[in-house]
Chains A and B, each alone.
Chain A
Amino acid sequence: MAILTEEIHLPQIGDDQLKLLERLSNACAVSGDEGEVRKIVLEEVRPHADEVKVDALGNVMVSKHGSGERPLRVMLAAHMDEVGLMLTYDVGDGIYRFDTVGGVSTSDLPAKAIWVGKDHVPGVIGLKPLHLGNSDEHKRPVGLDDLRIDVGPVSGKVKVGDRATFATMFIRQGLSLRGKALDNRLGVATLIELVKHAPPQIELQAAFTVQEEIASRGARVAAFNFNPDMAIILDSTPAYDLPVWDVDENVRYNSRLGAGPAIYVADSGTLYDPRLVRYLIETAEAHGIPYQIRQPGGGGTDAGVIHKQRIGVPSVSVSVPGRYHHSPAAIVRLSDWQHTMDLVATALFYLTPKVLDGER
């Protein structure tokens, strides 16, 4: 591709952006209960958008009109929800049975501090004390039936149906950021910046989606409504780039920290449009932005439902790599976030309908 000489103002990550990510990470928005994050998103995008509405499922639908007669309609999607827990049965005395919402590993749960409900009522996930069990009891894996949420006797503040998340405060540590729900508050924070810096030649259709972690239910209706020409999905993907001790080489790392935005070729939900994959790679190479190809395989993003909507939507996903997603604390590199922002903002700035010329 040709490098144009027009001036491009890439959104930069500074104190304001980090503070916004901190607010987003500390907010609780388990699938189906995204209100707290939605409130922040609405606050941030309203002054910069031509149209903002909240649809029936709770997606925030933001339009920024493009110039020209029929500007390319580009849907950008980032999910607001996070995995977590739901209280299912009141045992009494502030103790509750609970279920998981989305992909939460039971082994991550015992003895963790949590926040319950809209008021972030502090609680803990309790397990029978080790010294009171017989020795066999502690050899088998812990199941949900062994665990209870304990908030103490705080009547009126907590009830069955409330969601709970890990009680992790966001921090910056050196070159890294640590927090809960960085999957996908990073995508949300990126998309907010892209709305603020939308290029003029495209119709930007930003969808801050709900219920992605439980089968992308929000994105399905959002894509039907926007009826876009193409879509870019901003998500987060695991980096499993730790050393593996029992074999020579780790060949299943999925993605790596510090290697830049992860561009998707295939996951269990989508075979990404080769024209858009190529465009992102060429954009990265032309502008010296580091990137990596996410290892093809399982997992998925909102693209899985978006690309099959109506007569089909050419789609691609880009993720910030992160270690320990869906756990109490994920770790990401600040540089990967900045490079992801650089890549998507640059790609949008130079985007023309030509990108979809030819057949996929």
Chain B
Amino acid sequence: MKSLIQKLVETPGPSGYEGQIRSVVRAEIEPYADELQVDALGNLIALKGKGGADGIKIMLAAHIDEIGVMVTQVDEKGFVRFTTLGGVRPYTCVSGRVRFLNGTSGVIFMEPLDDMTKVPTFEQLYIDLGLSGNQDAPVKVGDVAVFERPFLDLGERLVAKSMDDRIGAAVLVETLRLIKDTPHQLFFVFSTQEEVGLRGATTAAFGIDPDLGLSVDVTGSGDTPRRTKVRMEVSLGKGPAIKVRDGGMLADRRVVDWMIRGAEKLGLPYQMEILEGGTTDARAMQLTRAGVPAGCLSIPTRYIHSPSEMVDYNDVQQAVQLLVELVSHPVKL
């Protein structure tokens, strides 16, 4: 599974421009899906299972977009000004590198600050492509790039840009491969534009009209050095996290209990997650049409929205085991 993860995290797919990563995911799942489709917003939707008397429609979503940057201006000297796609922070940008979808690379730096102890604003940042003027610049206004950082395998811990949420996509791909039999119609949604407001999942959920919705996404962890009062229960390596609440959703109690029962049946470690900020595609599923019971299986992750997001490989594999168990049997909420 590590090679799958590496392949997914090293493919670019900034929000709204998921064509390349969608092709990679499609190639991975094509042999295992009963049907495949791509909708108006670019969501890749794979159907597995015909459903039966004991079956329901389950939507499983992991987003394939990642945070990135978009060119707003190539100035007269050839420096590129940019805006952000999704929750990029200025302090993770400075001296970082970006790669455009056309292959052009550059480095981000900042104008000299009056007070160098302060964090720069995005208006003070620019991308240097190594040009000496703006004639024949290889990028133009509206072009998009992602942060550039190779995959790092530390053994149990894996580090990369875009673990958010390629790790969720990897969990779904692996789950789809391992399912032998299901009473359900399972809609695996590799969703787009999550980082800019759950936009892909919103339209996918409307189209699928599921009976149950589950997203697989990253969540923060509280196991790193800190002197602030901000506390979070979740740690890396203590099993996948079952979301109770985040900034945009109260998970359906019945879905939470269903996941707990599944983990205990298999004897898998798990953690309960309460995330103060941020939300996932599960919110969009919960609120579609007349409402859907929804929850989220989270992969504990350090340094989310930085170019070096860290996950624990055991948590990832256990998430796959749990998910396969959950969707292979009739669901009684």
Contacts and interface: CB of A to CB of B under 8 A. Distances in A.
A359 interface: yes
B76 A249 contact: yes
Ranked nearest first, the 9 interchain pairs of A and B with the lowest CB-CB distance are: A271-B16, A312-B40, A312-B203, A265-B142, A311-B207, A312-B41, A251-B73, A295-B72, A359-B38
Given A252-B123, A310-B203, A360 B41 contact: yes
Contact of A293 (B141, B193, B199, B204): B141
B39 interface: yes
Contacts of B19: 359-360
Nearest to A250: B73
A200 interface: no
Contacts of B42: 359-360
B15 A297 contact: no
A297 B83 CA distance: 6
A312 B141 contact: no
27 contacts: A248-B76, A249-B75, A249-B76, A252-B72, A265-B141, A266-B70, A266-B85, A271-B15, A271-B16, A271-B85, A271-B193, A274-B16, A277-B142, A295-B72, A295-B73, A295-B141, A296-B71, A296-B72, A296-B141, A308-B41, A309-B203, A312-B40, A359-B22, A359-B42, A360-B19, A360-B40, A360-B42
A264 to B, nearest CB: 9
> Chain A, interface size: which category?
20 to 34
Given A251-B81, A271-B85, A296-B70, A311 B206 contact: yes
A307 interface: yes
A310 B19 CA distance: 22
A314 interface: yes
Given A271-B15, A271-B16, A308-B41, 17 more contacts: A251-B72, A252-B123, A265-B70, A265-B142, A266-B16, A266-B83, A273-B40, A277-B142, A293-B141, A295-B141, A296-B141, A308-B199, A310-B206, A311-B204, A311-B207, A313-B40, A359-B19
A59 B14 CA distance: 35
Contacts of A251: 72-73, 75, 81
Contact of B142 (A249, A293, A311, A313): A293
Interface residues of B, number: 31
A311 B72 contact: no
B202 interface: yes
B142 A296 contact: yes
B190 interface: no
B110 interface: no
A249 B72 CA distance: 14
Contacts, number: 76
A49 B123 CA distance: 47
B142 A266 contact: yes
B17 interface: yes
Interface of B: 15-17, 19, 22, 38-42, 70-73, 75-76, 81, 83, 85, 123, 140-142, 193, 196, 199, 202-204, 206-207
A311 B189 CA distance: 13
Contacts of B17: 271, 274
A293 B39 CA distance: 26
A248 B76 CA distance: 10
Interface in A150-171: none
A296 B19 CA distance: 20
Nearest to A315: B40
A311 B203 contact: yes
| Residue of A252, A266, A312, A314 with most partner-chain B CB within 10 A | A312
A308 B202 contact: yes
Contacts of A310: 203, 206-207
A306 to B, nearest CB: 11
A287 B246 CA distance: 51
Contacts of A297: 72, 83
B327 to A, nearest CB: 24
| Residue of A248, A293, A359 with most partner-chain B CB within 10 A | A359
Contacts of A249: 75-76
A330 B141 CA distance: 26
Contacts of A265: 70, 141-142
Contacts of B199: 271, 307-308
A296 B38 CA distance: 26
Interface string A229-253: 0000000000000000000110110
Contacts of A266: 16, 70, 83, 85, 142
Nearest to A248: B76
Interface in A38-72: none
Contacts of A248: 76
A29 to B, nearest CB: 29
Contacts of A293: 140-142
Contacts of A274: 16-17
Nearest to B72: A295
A314 B19 CA distance: 15
A314 to B, nearest CB: 5
Contacts of B15: 271
Contacts of B207: 310-312
Contact of A252 (B70, B73, B203): B73
A248 B77 CA distance: 11
Contacts of A273: 40
A246 to B, nearest CB: 13
A311 B40 contact: yes
Contacts of B123: 252
A238 to B, nearest CB: 14
A295 B70 CA distance: 10
Nearest to A247: B111
A290 to B, nearest CB: 15
A48 to B, nearest CB: 30
A208 B71 CA distance: 32
Contacts of B73: 251-252, 295
Contacts of B83: 266, 295-297
Interface string A306-337: 01111111100000000000000000000000
A277 B141 CA distance: 13
B14 to A, nearest CB: 9
Contacts of A360: 19, 40-42
A140 B70 CA distance: 37
A251 B76 CA distance: 9
